[in-house]
Structure 1
Amino acid sequence: MSDPRDVYLAYQQRNARPSAAPDDAPSGFAGAGAAAADEIGGAVDALRPELQALAVSLFEEPEIGFAEHRSVRKLAALLERHGVRAEVGAFGLDTALRATVGSGDGPHFAVIAEYDALPGIGQACGHNIIAGIGVGAFLAAAPVVERLGGRLSLIGTPAEENGGGKEHIIRAGGFDGVDAAGMVHPGGGSALSPVAGERSTGVRRVAVTYRGRAAHAAGAPWLGLNALDAVVTAYQSVAQLRQHILPIDRVHGIITDGGAAPNIVPERASALFYVRSGEIDTLRALTDRVVAALEGAALATGTAAEIEVDPVPPYLPLEPNVALTKRWAAALAARGRVAPPSPPVPVLSGASTDMGNVTQLIPAIHPSIGLGGPEDVQPHNAVFAEWSVRAAAFDAMADAAFGLACAAADYLADAELRAAVAEEFVARGGRYRWGE
């Protein structure tokens, strides 16, 4: 296990360096040009009724991760109405989707779509809007890409909420040959994210089951080995750990099984912990410390611990590409949406997304756009789902689709922009793939 002092020193060294993020000045690249932007804008406006209908339909029939069978077919049907063949069941995942236009030669940009819902509260993360943005951006940019050259793909990624669909697609080779990617996430209020973007923590899941020995809790408790005691000890140990973790770290968990009846010494009990950190190395180190706490609880209670790390693929820290985000921001400014100034150091969100895995693999962006609701109505709240099908949300969806389409077209058309995007990606650390 890593020494926490060494991990902290490495964290200090990284965060003591000046931010590598460029300022908020215009990017200075030609991109695809004003005529292409006008064409994309007209296409988005023409698509808007269909994109709204898609967003509403996904809201009305929400499906959770890896079960988005109706949802993915809705995306495919919309694409096919516009003459684009969509492969449903791509990358070995029943509810993944892939569609591609343009030439096999030249640069390749992937637009990312999500469409899974949350259990019980439906589209409370706005993935119905993400789907509309992705499909709209892809269809609006497709004619420009086919004329200017390069290749544009739409990759529909299942199970962002609960299964790490993007990491499954990465492992299946779905991003092999893709040079850059982008998606847009909805948020509360009406603001855009800053040009430097928001970083986010990575997350790993750690599940533990303790095996003890059942006995009568009153008649012969000395014959038992209490698995629930082990879970409680583990939970308290992790709670004590929280005082001594980095500012970029988070740990939280629940007891998923606490026994069958109070008069039976529990022979089995389970818990699930989420371990989060803003850096890959600190994420590994914190996971090691949590696992050690779980092992110690077994030793203290005489039980056996079955620990499973990463029952779901890890979500890596999100590192958006600033040079590419600036093209998105420039396009949005043309539609009256101006990004706020970037802070000296990019903001680190405590939330996590499997889009982080994509940003670690290739240059990618993940800006956010508010749907026009109250500031206190944020994702993962049932009220947020209701705001995702209001007129202000559809305005944001259309603008975001325009911005993402322009960013994709600019990237494919402008070699100097591609070089700047690549240079920033390498300076930040370059390609990282979990397990390599």
Structure 2
Amino acid sequence: MEVIDDMSLSAHCPEGAVIYAVGGAVRDQLLGLPAGDYDWVVVGATPEQMVAKGYVPVGGDFPVFLHPQTKEEYALARTERKSGRGYQGFTFYTGVDVSLEQDLLRRDLTVNAMALRQEGQLFLKKKGQELGEEALRQQLMSGALDRVLTEGEEPFLADPFNGLEDLRQKIFRHVSEAFIEDPVRILRLARFLARFEDFSVATDTLSYCQKMVTNGEVDHLVAERVWQELSKALMQTKPARSIEFLLEVGALQRVLPGFIWDAEAARAIALAVQKGLPLPLRYALLVYRVDEVKAFSQALRVPLVCRDAAVLLAQWECAMGEIGSEPAHHPEAALNAILATDAIRKPQRFAELLQAYAVLLAVRDLDATQIVCHIQRWQQLFEAVVAVDAGAIAKSCGADTGKIKETVYQARLHALNSVLSA
């Protein structure tokens, strides 16, 4: 985020209005973590005032504007009212009479319902430069800066729902009973648990999540939003916590019907995180045992690269079950397994597949030496197969084009056998 200076604060703030940073970026800043994109809320302004200050309107359902300098989004403070089922069933009101507390009241968790004035941004930036980021984090969590942040007529930090204390106690707690109106909050909580591994969920908040399952609200989640939150959770440090939370509140089979979760899956995804594998491989390791993994992935609207990784791993695992631990016993099956992955045209994808397969071998308690030998053997077989000059073979067949496919296949099989017999 670009932190703007004091002159810009006054130049771009409508008269009589106050601008706050809100949401997860404030939470992360108070935890001393890198903050992502900030959500900005403007209290006490009209759309006309925003435009007069150079903001560009871009909002659809409610007034949102692009800052003339930073191009970040600024929304007018708003309230919301439930008007239908699911996470889209809300109507909004934005007026100059909407207070900051009313805007924060509609947010999901207390730790996400804090607001930091723009002047507070400058204060924390200067403190971080003065103390260092870790020392600043310790002061924020110990309460040493509370007097500056939260006291006075116009405190830097607005915290009407005690989110700062919940942050210190490492608790995710709902802001209000309206929490139960939006099933996306179940998915968001699951993602937060994957990221903040030492946080827990307040008992009442857990009950609200369970009620959203029993009353059917969770069934109104669309696949795209489920994938959006799941994909983010998979890239956190403890993705298994997100799955376990969905299981605990009864939502797992409702949002991921047919999904298989057990100790093997938990260990596989933990090893994938430990090895720093990319999203497609993490997803593949999570779902490769699902029946009809391609249909499952299509229903979830996952990107093609993730779907293909899962399908390939499922096919490879099936082939390995037939071949066993020694490819020399089944050379044709070994060649067919390599060719089925389209490895010759997509060698990088084959290399990534072997990375995922190495995780599965580790889950099944092969020692590190065995795993290295196994993966190296498949890499050697692949290199031998890909080295066959299919173009030269096709040329040697001349006009007898019907022989090309089988001749190339036999040449590749011969190359593979040469490695196996070495």
State whether TM-score is above 0.5.
no
More helix by share: 2
TM-score bracket relative to the smaller structure: under 0.3
Higher relative contact order (CA 8 A, sep 6+): 1
Q: Report the TM-score, using the length of structure 1 for normalisation.
A: 0.22
